[in-house]
Copies of this chain bind each other. A is one copy, B any other.
Amino acid sequence: MHFMNALAERWQRADSLLCVGLDPDPARLPAHLHERPDAILAFCRDIVDATADAVCCFKPQIAYFAAARAEDQLEDLIRHIHERHPGIPVILDAKRGDIGSTAAQYAREAFRRYGADAVTVNPYMGRDSIEPYLEYADRGVILLCRTSNAGGSDLQFLDVGGEKLYERVARLAADEWNASGNLGLVVGATFPDEIARVRQITGDMPLLVPGIGAQGGDIAAVLAAGRSRDGTGLIINSSRAILYAGDGEDFAAAARFAAQATRTAINRCR
């Protein structure tokens, strides 16, 4: 199924805009898992199974797997999500960006090797660096636009002639690059004014919003700024506040509680 359709169906069926980000920091895994050779997979799989009914998407962050030499565990994790929780799209957070011939290899990595339903991509290299991803017409491509970190302003907030750089990225995405209808944008929860501006520019395009939870973004402000006309349109990511809600053998139950509470807090503002 097309990523956009799967996402829309999941927003409805799970009644949730929450995405759980899978950023397994080896230093923060529960102690009882430390000895296992597949600790990362075991941890993430339990988080997934405990939170699946509260989410619209899962978003594994590839850096945590790559740093730990655990690409095979990432493959197994995505396969597990697809097999045990069919219908929940997986966004591979990779933020790749390269020239066409290399971008084709990264697209192959994300969509064929890992079987991701969508991937995050950096727009700095422009249109032809994005096209190889768009050729996978049933997959989603989510471009960085206005990121949640402090340094995000260094370039993204520069005035490029009557608008900011992030607004230009949003406009290019909405007006010129979205022929396949499979683009989304990343806009940080810490900047609700910019979320509102991106929503205005892009119509109903899905926005991936990191930065609630550990990074401090305000849920009500995100919803007010970013929900689309039907009260969806947002993929609101929380990683650390859910993954590390508990640190004992009951970590999955603690994560489930945190995910359900976050979903409820989001729905209260829709």
Task: Using CB atoms and an 8 Å cutoff, list the residues of chain A in contact with chain B.
Answer: 23, 25, 61, 63-64, 66-67, 69, 71, 95-103, 105-106, 108-109, 112-113, 122-130, 144, 147-156, 158-161, 165, 168-169, 172
Looking at A67, A160, A165, the one whose CB has the most chain B CB atoms below 10 A away is A67
**A129 to B147 alpha-carbon distance, docked (Å):** 11
Q: Give A77 Cβ to nearest chain B Cβ, in Å.
A: 15
Seed contacts A126-B153, A127-B154; 7 additional CB < 8 Å A-B pairs: A64-B102, A67-B113, A97-B122, A125-B152, A127-B150, A155-B168, A155-B169
Instruction: Pick from B61, B63, B127, B160: contact of A151, CB below 8 A.
Output: B127
Instruction: Pick from B69, B109, B152: contact of A66, CB below 8 A.
Output: B109
Would B153 and A105 count as touching, CB distance under 8 A?
A: no
Q: Give A99 Cβ to nearest chain B Cβ, in Å.
A: 4
List chain B residues, Cβ under 8 A from A125.
144, 147, 149, 151-152
Contact A66:B155 (CB < 8 A) given known A95-B96, A124-B122? no
**A66 to B109 alpha-carbon distance, docked (Å):** 6
Summarize A's interface: helix, strand, loop or mixed: helix
List chain B residues, Cβ under 8 A from A101.
23, 25
List chain B residues, Cβ under 8 A from A112.
67
Would A126 and B156 count as touching, CB distance under 8 A?
A: yes
List chain B residues, Cβ under 8 A from A123.
124, 154-155
Contact A149:B128 (CB < 8 A) given known A64-B105, A102-B23, A108-B67? yes
**A71 to B69 alpha-carbon distance, docked (Å):** 8
**A152 to B129 alpha-carbon distance, docked (Å):** 8
